[in-house]
């Protein structure tokens, strides 16, 4: 009788597909943030969920005893294709201990720390949740976001990052009925790179490793940084929301400037813009990354109203209670720029080269429209086994003449950033984000003491 009931349960369950695990209840590290306006700030009880790529995938039919993955891919019986695999296999939850010990992610008060651990080389990341099974949606046009960050333990080659991405609030459950795990398990992932190699996409498991479809959506990189370099970057798209691309629209290879998203992005990096004394890890720098500081990003509209088009993204820092305006570009003809705007993206690409594809996919107005539809906050800590993060913190491409405008992105040496070396040389590498606040312009930090 017991067996019979269980069998019915399994059959009913397997009708749903891409199930959450029935065995391990998912833990979400609490990460409260604050929403602010002229009258002050209020706490929101948000939490963090780790992305699904490292989660187990276990057979539903035998109560999650059989692994749907094999040493070299996926079990051919359970996972002959992505949809069947989603039907047959359940996605594992992580306990608090998994988050902390296994993946190096822990929260305390309003802070979350990501440690760079030895048992994985690509990095960890995840998303901010409003509730157990819904992402926190931010509408950022005519608003700002501020966070404190401790970069002191992040060497050359690592990238501690905070992004906005236009992921769906429920993690794709309504759009793809085979996805029954949703935001609670970090599903529904997409970004401006239209990746083909995500573990899950469109309600399916990526059993081939490289899917024909790519998962595209609007992305804004608030923060990509280590102790020696930092950038913030737009990655606009001509599509809205979560979009599975095929063919040319994925923007792969030679189609880079024919895709639906701007993969290069329009990027502001003080060092790349030839101010070599603004940001770094000693007393020579305006922002001394040996001590924590606040990063403010303002999404400014043309007329200062919520309905106006976005026309500028500004950056302000606060360190030791001193408000520090962003550095200005230090190239001839670009001296008036210390923020991202349509003119900046056009003049910068004209000066250092590049396609200004940002303009082709909708420019600042398009960025504002996406920020107005609602975006999810995405955390990451990663190393770069392909180009060793030199596009962020060193000479890139590595064979460029360092005198070429825009070729030097930071002071990191050409041989830095090898993931295997970082693990050996910097066992304590970590980044802590804390005190996340968002709200009306000027409401999240103090202009004067
Ligand atoms: C600070 O770091 C920069 C970049 O590595 C270096 O050139 C400079 O000499 C350092 N200054 C001090 C005072 O250590």
394 lines ligand 1 (CB under 6 A): no
Per-residue pLDDT for 291 more than 60?
A: yes
For residue 6, the CA-to-ligand 1 centroid distance in Å is 66
**Looking at residue 30, what DSSP letter applies?**
B
Average pLDDT over residues 29-40: 97
Active-site annotation holder among 144, 166, 168, 219: 219
Residue 1 pLDDT level (bands cut at 50, 70, 90): very low
Nearest CA to ligand 1 atom 1: 282
Ligand 1 atom nearest 282 alpha carbon? 1
Residue 10 pLDDT level (bands cut at 50, 70, 90): very low
Per-residue pLDDT for 123 more than 80?
A: no
Cβ-count burial of 53 within 10 angstroms (0-12 exposed, 13-18 middle, 19+ buried)?
Answer: middle
Say how far apart CA 272 and CA 254 lie, in whole Å.
25
For residue 92, the CA-to-ligand 1 centroid distance in Å is 46
276 lines ligand 1 (CB under 6 A): no
290 lines ligand 1 (CB under 6 A): no
Q: Which domains does the chain have, with CATH numbers?
A: 31-46+136-167+217-440 (2.70.100.10)
Summarize pLDDT for 371-416 with one digit per residue, the tens: 999 999 999 999 999 999 999 999 999 999 999 999 999 999 999 9
357, 262 contact by CB (below 8 A):
yes
Cα separations (Å) of 432 from 23, 162, 200, 291?
31, 11, 28, 12
321 lines ligand 1 (CB under 6 A): no
Active site residue 224: yes
Largest CA distance in the chain: 81
Summarize pLDDT for 336-346 with one digit per residue, the tens: 999 999 999 99
Average pLDDT over residues 226-236: 98
> pLDDT at position 4, please?
39
Average pLDDT over residues 1-27: 58
> pLDDT at position 428, please?
94
Q: Which of 70-84, 108-122, 264-278, 308-322 has the lowest mean pLDDT?
A: 108-122
Say how far apart CA 209 and CA 198 lie, in whole Å.
8
Residue 244 pLDDT level (bands cut at 50, 70, 90): very high
155 lines ligand 1 (CB under 6 A): no
Per-residue pLDDT for 430 more than 60?
A: yes
For residue 283, the CA-to-ligand 1 centroid distance in Å is 8
Average pLDDT over residues 245-263: 98
CA angle 37, 43, 47 (to 5 degrees): 125
Select from 226, 281, 282, 410 the residue to mutate for testing ligand 1; criterion: most ligand atoms less than 8 Å from CB.
Answer: 282
Say how far apart CA 346 and CA 351 lie, in whole Å.
9
Q: Is 264 helix (H, G, I), strand (E, B) or coil?
A: coil
Nearest CA to ligand 1 atom 2: 282
Nearest CA to ligand 1 atom 11: 284
Nearest to 25 by CA among 95, 80, 79, 90: 95
Residue 19 pLDDT level (bands cut at 50, 70, 90): confident
Select from 155, 229, 281, 284 the residue to mutate for testing ligand 1; criterion: most ligand atoms less than 8 Å from CB.
Answer: 284
Summarize pLDDT for 161-206 with one digit per residue, the tens: 999 999 999 999 999 999 999 999 999 999 999 999 999 999 999 9
């Amino acid at each position: 009788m017991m067996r019979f009931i269980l069998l019915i349960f399994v059959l009913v369950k397997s009708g749903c597909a891409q199930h959450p695990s029935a065995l391990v209840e998912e833990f979400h590290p609490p990460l409260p943030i604050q929403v602010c306006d002229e009258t002050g700030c209020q706490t929101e009880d948000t939490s963090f969920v780790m992305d699904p790529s490292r989660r187990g995938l276990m057979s539903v039919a035998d109560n999650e005893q059989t692994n749907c993955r094999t040493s070299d891919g996926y079990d051919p019986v359970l996972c002959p294709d992505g949809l069947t695999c989603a039907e047959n296999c359940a996605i594992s939850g992580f306990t608090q201990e998994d988050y902390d010990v296994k993946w190096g992610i822990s929260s305390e008060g309003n802070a979350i720390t990501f440690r760079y651990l030895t048992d994985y080389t690509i990095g960890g990341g995840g998303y901010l949740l409003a509730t157990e099974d819904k992402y926190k949606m931010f509408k950022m046009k005519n608003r700002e976001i501020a966070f404190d960050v401790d970069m002191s333990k992040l060497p050359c080659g690592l990238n501690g990052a905070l992004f906005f991405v236009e992921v769906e609030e429920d993690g794709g459950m309504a759009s793809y009925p085979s996805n029954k795990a949703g935001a609670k398990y970090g599903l529904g992932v997409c970004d401006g790179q239209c990746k083909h190699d995500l573990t899950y996409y469109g309600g399916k498991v990526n059993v081939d490793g490289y899917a024909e479809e790519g998962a595209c959506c609007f992305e804004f990189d608030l923060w990509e940084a280590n102790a020696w370099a930092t950038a913030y970057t737009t990655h606009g798209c001509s599509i809205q929301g979560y979009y599975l691309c095929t063919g040319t629209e994925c923007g792969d290879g030679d189609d880079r400037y024919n895709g639906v998203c701007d993969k290069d992005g329009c990027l502001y990096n003080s060092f790349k813009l030839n101010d070599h004394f603004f940001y770094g890890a000693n007393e020579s720098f305006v922002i001394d990354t040996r001590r924590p500081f606040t990063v403010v990003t303002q999404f400014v509209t043309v007329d200062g109203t919520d309905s106006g088009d976005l026309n500028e993204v500004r950056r302000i820092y606060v360190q030791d209670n001193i408000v520090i305006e962003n550095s200005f570009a230090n190239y001839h003809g670009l001296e008036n720029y210390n923020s991202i705007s349509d003119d900046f993206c056009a003049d910068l690409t004209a000066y250092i080269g590049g396609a200004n594809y940002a303009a082709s996919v909708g420019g600042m107005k398009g960025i504002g429209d996406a920020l107005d539809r609602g975006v999810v906050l995405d955390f990451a800590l990663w190393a770069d086994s392909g180009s060793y993060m030199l596009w962020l913190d060193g000479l890139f491409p590595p064979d460029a003449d360092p005198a070429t405008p825009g070729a030097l992105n930071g002071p990191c040496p050409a041989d830095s950033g090898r993931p295997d070396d970082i693990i050996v040389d910097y066992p304590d590498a970590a980044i802590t984000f804390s005190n996340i606040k968002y709200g009306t312009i000027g409401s999240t930090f103090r202009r004067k003491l």
